[in-house]
Structure 1
């Protein structure tokens, strides 16, 4: 009997180790790794982090606003600034000191202050900024801080040995909303173009609601291997956020 049990264990124990190992490699447990009154940073993968700052609004209260940090080796790229210069200074310091990374670029994905409200803090640190050409036009029209470098369709930047992409697919939340993609980890930063599951339509003052679904369908087609999707507000998830946003604005006029 003892020999029988021993033989069974010899057969299944290696399988058990392999199974657990596979689960550990595949699963990454997100963890909040920094928190102050004005800034929260959450690690969502090996080399990607959501930064969350806050914007006080009349219609929606104190709104958490997401951006994304991607890192490779000792370099980082930031999508969207925190909502103001103070929070942006805090974020820059954290990336430099805690991540030990030099920020190669900041990429505001549209002209609202939950995307570029803290841009001056990056410029003061000589960190170059890149935005879709329409974002620069709208920032100038509204007397906001203007991103330094423009792209017509897309831009590919380097972070360490990896590529980082920012691309405009069409109008939706605004006329200029671009998205960011980190192919190394199949992470999409949708910004305010994408909604968290069960979210409402949010602020529509600058929106093109009739184009919104079609724009997101283009994003979905471009990045079929996406694993993590980060919206401008609320919880991150997977490709279901794309489907939810498409459905939310389908057939709108």
Structure 2
């Protein structure tokens, strides 16, 4: 029997498996925190919130790095996990954290914001988010804005904007033009997701709000939802259809 084809086949599978193991899509993983690279400068951070209605829920946030600095979008769910994330950014990646941006007033967005405040890292949020966080007794972001806020990270712009009510009345989205990336947070659903928690939602306006986001950013390539897998503009289309009212 000629062993050459067998050797070539074994080599092919070894390369295939080797490539797969090097591209697992996770750059950091612990029991409480997972970090997933989506570009050279952008990473999803995932932490886990224990809920009464939905059990243990994986919650997405974003890290954007540029020219030695980083901005974090939504904190991990608690202070301890936020400390873990901060250590990874500052010690492993050697980036200075310039700011943290909060999507809305729920714990899966700002549960660990005090970890950033303790290091004098400023937090930004919609004025409505600050009001609602105070009312709920949640941690309170420091710097409020109405409608729209822009941050610069090096020479790159970050646009934080309130398009209308959806998952909550205060929810914003964050857009990074240079990355063609939208951190949608909970106003945006992953493909095939259910409607989820609606206790603070405006289901009548949800589709309109997301449609306005789609119109404002026609060159989107990456869309990150508050929970579940990231994707592209298809996530906006799915969310619009999910909450479409006749």
Q: TM-score, normalised by structure 2?
A: 0.89
Query: Given that residues 30 and 42 in structure 1 are in contact (C-alpha distance below 8 angstroms), is that contact kept between their aligned partners in structure 2?
Result: no
**Match in the other structure for 1:4:** none
**Match in the other structure for 1:246:** 240
Match for residue 197 of structure 1 among 188, 191, 197:
191
1:70 aligns with 2:64: yes
Give structure 2 stretches of 5+ with no counterpart. Answer: 1-22
Within-5 A mapping of 1:175-194: 175-194=169-188
Q: Matched residue of 1:207: which SS?
A: coil
Larger Rg belongs to: 1
Query: Aligned residues, how many?
Result: 224
Q: Deviations over 1:33-88 (max 9, x none)?
A: 00010000000012100000000112111100000001111001011000000000
Q: Matched residue of 1:209: which SS?
A: coil
Give structure 1 stretches of 5+ with no counterpart. Answer: 1-28
Q: TM-score, normalised by structure 1?
A: 0.87
Q: Deviations over 1:119-178 (max 9, x none)?
A: 110100110000001000000111111111001011111112211111000000001010
Distance 1:160 1:61 in 2: 40
**Match in the other structure for 1:161:** 155
Distance 1:104 1:154 in 2: 18
Q: What is the CA RMSD across the aligned residues, in angstroms?
A: 1.0
**Match in the other structure for 1:117:** 111
Match for residue 52 of structure 2 among 36, 53, 58:
58
**Match in the other structure for 2:221:** 227
Query: Given that residues 30 and 45 in structure 1 are in contact (C-alpha distance below 8 angstroms), is that contact kept between their aligned partners in structure 2?
Result: no
1:103 aligns with 2:82: no
Deviation at 1:205, TM superposition (A): 0.3
Distance 1:60 1:144 in 2: 20
Change (3 A) 1:178 1:211: same
Q: Matched residue of 2:125: which SS?
A: strand
Within-5 A mapping of 1:123-142: 123-142=117-136
Distance 2:165 2:92 in 1: 36
**Match in the other structure for 1:208:** 202
